[in-house]
Every structure is written in structure tokens, then in C-alpha cells.
Amino acid sequence: MSPKIETLLNAVNEIYPGKVMTRVSGEKTDELHIDRVSQEILGDRLLIELAEGTQSDFLFGNELLKMLLTLNGVIPQIFFALTFQDDTLDQQLIQIATRMHRTIVHTITYRELKKQGVLTTETAVSYLAGVQSELTVENGELDDESLWRLLTLLDALVFADASGADFSELADMYPLAYTAATKLVSPILTADLKQSRHIRRQTTQLFASVDNTLTEWGKPTVNAKEYVTVTSVLSQRQLELPVSQVFTIFHSEMTDFQTKKTAYVGLNQVDSQNSFVITKPDNQDSADFFKALYKMKVGDLFKQLALPYINRK
């Protein structure tokens, strides 16, 4: 581990409520796979483990930067409070949503790693090799891998933008996914991602844009706008407002993951994004429940739900 990454690790450990540790469990290869990183909580310790030793400084640096941004309340997080009561479907949607969210976050972290000299020409060569090994070449038709190609190329284009690497050969191998990814990533690369509300906006817009692409392709949509809870970015004024002026509550076809009961989703009235999930107490009349909920102050509701939010400066 280089001194720069050790400095990052120390910075995370200064604010993390416990101890963050790192470990590399595999050998180096010629391919960089950004998904082969895991985090495991061991009591009050958190272990970040790489399955392979390829570009370990880059991978550790990326994970630590994401942690630092999250712990400092910069990056709106995503949560999965709903379930289709189908583990396979839930896990698939979680993977898809996580990949979309990380596209936005990596736009920040990759640029910073390039700035610090951690993202190098060698990193870019390994990254490209990893992408090409993970995806099969398109045959001119949409298939079951089309969405995964799109999500992978979104990240690849973010990486190429940050690194200055030429990944144009991906356009020849995956023309359909590359064309769609180029369109979707364009507003992200030009966005001001210094403020939490802008990061959240790009996240929710990407959720919608991916669904639009899938609709154009005749594929089932992800519907992350409803399925995924995104950390709210709220001003002090909004926290004092009644719920009815900030959110719209609707009955979801999905189930609350924790209570296993009927779920009601609070959609932000500006972007229609899932911002919280709530269930009605069994002993309370529906009309009384919604009346009280809509009258409650937003700040009081989030406190009751123990749901984090970012205070908009």
C-alpha cells in the first residue's frame, strides 16, 4: 500500500466508528475488475478485501474515497427497504441499482484518484482488459446481456473521461450499449457534483434514463425510482414543513423488507424518487394514519424512522 492510500485509510479511520482494515486475498492479473471488492463487518471493525491484487492502490483508494464522502455526508446513499419477496429478483435489482449509483460516485472518485496519481496508464490498460473479459461481444441484436453491458460501459466511460484513456474500441465491440451509455453518461460528466443535491439529482435522473433506454429496447424496466430509497437532501425550511408539502405517499405493490407488511412509499414531489418507506400500525385506522402522517413535520418523520438525511446548506 502506497503512502497516499495509507493517508486515505488514516483519514477514514479518524471518523469511522471503529477500525477499517484492508486485505488482498488473490494474486495480480492483467485485468482490473472493480466489482471484486468486498466489505465485511467484524464487530466494530470493517474489512475491505480485494479478491485479486491487480491495481490494489486504485481499488483501495476508490473504496476509501467513497467511504470518506459518505461518512462526511456528501454522497446520498441508497437503501433497499422494499422486497418483491423473491430473493433472486431482489438481488438482481440491488446489483443493478448499485451499479447505477456507483456511476455517479465514480465520476467523483476516479477524477480524484487521477489527480492524486493513483489512476495511471497501467490502471487504464488493466481496466479495459477487465471490461473486455467480462462482456461478450454484441452480435447486432439486443440480448439478455444488454443491460449489463450498458451498466458496465457507463462506468467505463466515466473512467475514460477521468483518465483520458482512449476506450473507443469498445464502440466497435458493443455498439448498441456504447451508444446508449454515451448518451446517458453525458449529463453526468458535465454536472457540478460538488453539492449533495446535485449528486442526488444525477442519481435519480440516471435511474429514469436507464428505464427509458430499456423501454426503447423493449426490455423490462428496473423502476429504481420506486424500488430504491435515496438519501434525501433537505433544507432547514423543508424539515419544518408538513410531510404533505414535500412528499407524496403511495401504496406500493412491494412489501416492507423489515416488517414484511404492506409498504407505503414516500416520493419526493420534485423528482418522484423513493425517499422513505413506512408501514401502517395494525391498530391504527388507515384514514387516521395518513392524516397524522401528512401533518407531521418532515424532520420529525425522519427522526421517527431513524432515517438519515443530508442537511442542504
Question: CA-CA distance, 207 to 100, in Å (whole number)?
Answer: 7
Question: CA-CA distance, 189 to 191, in Å (whole number)?
Answer: 6
Using left for φ > 0, alpha for ψ between -120 and 50, and beta otherwise, residue 83 falls in beta
Confidence at 251, pLDDT banded by 50, 70, 90: confident
Question: CA-CA distance, 198 to 232, in Å (whole number)?
Answer: 12
Question: CA-CA distance, 176 to 128, in Å (whole number)?
Answer: 18
Using a CB cutoff of 8 Å and minimum separation of 24, what contacts does 161-166 make? Answer: 161/107, 161/110, 161/185, 161/189, 162/107, 162/110, 162/111, 162/113, 162/114, 162/119, 163/110, 163/114, 163/119, 163/123, 163/124, 163/127, 164/114, 165/121, 165/124, 165/127, 165/128
Burial of 241 (0-12, 13-18, 19+ CB in 10 A): middle
Q: Which of 105-109, 137-141, 263-267 has the highest mean pLDDT?
A: 105-109
pLDDT at 284: 80
Q: Supply φ then ψ for residue 161, to 5 degrees.
A: -65, -45
160 contacts 189 by C-beta, under 8 angstroms: no
Question: CA-CA distance, 280 to 286, in Å (whole number)?
Answer: 7
Question: What is the tens place of the pLDDT at every residue in 165-184?
Answer: 999 999 999 999 999 999 99
76 contacts 231 by C-beta, under 8 angstroms: yes
Question: What is the tens place of the pLDDT at every residue in 118-134?
Answer: 999 999 999 999 999 99
Query: Stretch 89-106: mean pLDDT, rounded?
Result: 94
pLDDT at 127: 96
Cell of 236: 432547514
Question: CA-CA distance, 39 to 21, in Å (whole number)?
Answer: 10
62 contacts 74 by C-beta, under 8 angstroms: no
With a cut of 90, say whether residue 159 has pLDDT above it.
yes
pTM over 0.75: yes
278 contacts 264 by C-beta, under 8 angstroms: yes
pLDDT at 140: 85
With a cut of 80, say whether residue 313 has pLDDT above it.
no
The conformation of residue 244, written as its DSSP 8-state character, comes to: G
pLDDT at 43: 86
Q: Burial code of 133-167, b = ≥16 C-beta within 10 A, e = fewer?
A: eebeebeeebeeebbbbbbbbbbbbbbbbbbebeb
Q: Which of 49, 52, 25 is nearest to 129 (CA)?
A: 52
Question: CA-CA distance, 84 to 196, in Å (whole number)?
Answer: 30
Percentage of the chain beyond pLDDT 70 is 100
Question: What is the tens place of the pLDDT at every residue in 269-282?
Answer: 999 999 999 988 88
Q: Which of 81, 90, 5 is nearest to 48 (CA)?
A: 5
Please list the alpha-helical segments (H only) found in the chain. Answer: 3-15, 56-71, 87-115, 121-134, 146-163, 169-173, 175-190, 196-216, 224-227, 236-240, 286-295, 298-305
